[in-house]
């Protein structure tokens, strides 16, 4: 390893898990030695650390001093290598913003007003709008991240191909050994596979699952639809003072739940008071067997 001109100025290692450590080392060196020093650090074990949890260098960054052209700062990052047949599972939650058009009871809060108990709504000119506060909601979306590794020589490559085919699919059965997630509530979002630097016999596999927003209900119960109809009505145009302009109209398009035919006596007609309130479930995600994922590691 090239000799550091000014030497190592920082060395820190942290035990951040039962079997996991991270470390950092910083040097100030002559800029001509920086690149050679960086290449020699990759894959090296942190000094004086032993055992399976000893951290190894996986990333080295070089920063050059714009005021001292001959000086460079080298920062090396260390972490414990993943052990085959072990995994780290983490839960990630984030806020998802959406604009609500109905409240929690299914009542309209913005848009045309259709209430069969109120005869006035049939004129088609009533609608709700927000006059105080906001109808923007924040809902939680959670993800489960599973970080694992396996030895290439002891793993069938076709199993990786099968995992790739699970992308965007949901589990077709309960997972009692994996968070006890019910059927259909985990969707595989990402499954990157990486061969780590200086670890030629070891592959890293990260699996990221999206958790159903309506847990414990499945992903395929989340999206629902209702049959609507579009219509157009004409309304008088007002001048700047609010007075109606004679013989001047504007056309407004709106949509509402589809009206149903009503039989009254010997005639049939469509009533504003009778509309299709049926909500239909919509299946968007195919189900798949997640057994291959369970077989990669030993779940405790």
Which residue positions in the chain have pLDDT lower than 70?
1-6, 67, 112-126, 152-157, 196-201, 261-274, 292, 294-300
User: Tell me, what's the pLDDT at 123?
Assistant: 46
Backbone angles phi, psi at 267, to 5 degrees: -125, 155
User: Tell me, what's the pLDDT at 122?
Assistant: 44
Query: Is the bond leading into 216 cis (omega within 30 degrees of zero)?
Result: yes
User: Tell me, what's the pLDDT at 234?
Assistant: 78
User: What b/e readout covers 76-91, taking b as 16+ CB neighbours within 10 angstroms?
Assistant: bebbbbbebeebeeee
User: Tell me, what's the pLDDT at 35?
Assistant: 86
Query: Of how many residues is the chain composed?
Result: 300
Please tell me whether the overall predicted TM-score, pTM, comes out greater than 0.85 for this model. no
CB atoms closer than 10 angstroms to residue 11: 14
């Amino acid at each position: 390893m090239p000799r550091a001109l000014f030497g190592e100025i920082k060395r820190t290692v942290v035990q951040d898990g039962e079997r996991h450590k991270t470390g950092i080392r910083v040097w100030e060196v002559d800029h001509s030695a920086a690149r050679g020093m960086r290449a020699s650090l990759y894959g090296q074990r942190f000094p004086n650390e032993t055992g399976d949890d000893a951290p190894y260098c996986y990333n080295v960054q070089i920063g050059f001093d714009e005021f001292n052209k001959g000086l460079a700062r080298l920062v090396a990052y260390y972490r414990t290598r993943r052990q085959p047949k072990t995994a780290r599972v983490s839960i990630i939650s984030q806020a998802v913003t959406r604009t609500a058009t109905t409240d929690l009871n299914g009542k309209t809060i913005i848009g045309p007003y259709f209430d069969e108990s109120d005869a006035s709504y049939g004129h088609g000119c009533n609608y709700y709008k927000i006059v105080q506060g906001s109808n923007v909601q924040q809902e939680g979306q959670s993800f489960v991240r599973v970080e694992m590794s396996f030895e290439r020589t002891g793993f069938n490559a076709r199993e990786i191909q099968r995992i790739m085919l699970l992308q965007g699919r949901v589990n077709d059965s309960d997972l009692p050994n994996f968070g006890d997630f019910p059927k259909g509530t985990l969707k595989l979002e990402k499954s990157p596979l990486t061969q780590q630097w200086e670890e030629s016999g070891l592959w890293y596999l990260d699996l990221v699952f999206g958790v159903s927003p309506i847990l414990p209900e499945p992903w395929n119960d989340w999206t629902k639809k209702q049959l609507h109809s579009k219509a157009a009505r004409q309304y008088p145009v007002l001048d700047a003072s609010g007075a109606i302009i004679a013989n001047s109209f504007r056309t407004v398009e709106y949509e509402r739940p589809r009206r149903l035919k009503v039989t009254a006596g010997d005639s049939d007609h469509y009533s504003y008071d009778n509309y299709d309130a049926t909500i239909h479930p919509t299946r968007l995600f195919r189900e798949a067997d997640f057994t291959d994922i369970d077989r990669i590691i030993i779940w405790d």
